[in-house]
Chain A
Amino acid sequence: GDSVTQMEGPVTLSEEAFLTINCTYTATGYPSLFWYVQYPGEGLQLLLKATKADDKGSNKGFEATYRKETTSFHLEKGSVQVSDSAVYFCALSDRGSGNTPLVFGKGTRLSVIA
């Protein structure tokens, strides 16, 4: 079945450091890919998405590029801030398998220290 694998956390960075959170996927069809973020004590909210190969999603300084050849959707940010401390989830929807609910990775906790 479809699956998403994220790098395990926690990830601890100093403010203004470069961030990469790796995400790879397995899907039988043509997935849409998403990054969601969960701030402490809250539900998840969409950070960015990409719906086809080579698309780049971006938001709030975060970017991720849909790489079909490596089945990856790594999240990057050039300079993190303390306010970016949260749990980040990679997710996919495999449209080729019909309408199915999103499949989530296990999440990666990011802590940014001043």
Chain B
Amino acid sequence: SQQGEEDPQALSIQEGENATMNCSYKTSINNLQWYRQNSGRGLVHLILIRSNEREKHSGRLRVTLDTSKKSSSLLITASRAADTASYFCATDTQGAQKLVFGQGTRLTINP
């Protein structure tokens, strides 16, 4: 079952603007990850944040995690046309190997 809810479902912005996507989940987690999927392709891992972390950066990406609200956000700064893709959050729980994916946000960067 999919426990992640992502919001917005679709986001369209101008190149150079920042894009923020949110993810909420229902159960306690061990890690939360963000993945990107270009149309018709597999997923590319972007960043992993552990349950005891609150914020993490990687290049133009910033991820926050609020376990009290069971939510996470992904911020992409200075967006580029190449950032156009679907973005998914995925959670795993202690002792479980599998990931549960959110519904995803379709991001479109307009040149």
User: A and B, one complex?
Assistant: no
Interface residues of chain A, those whose CB is within 8 Å of chain B, are: none
Interface residues of chain B, those whose CB is within 8 Å of chain A, are: none
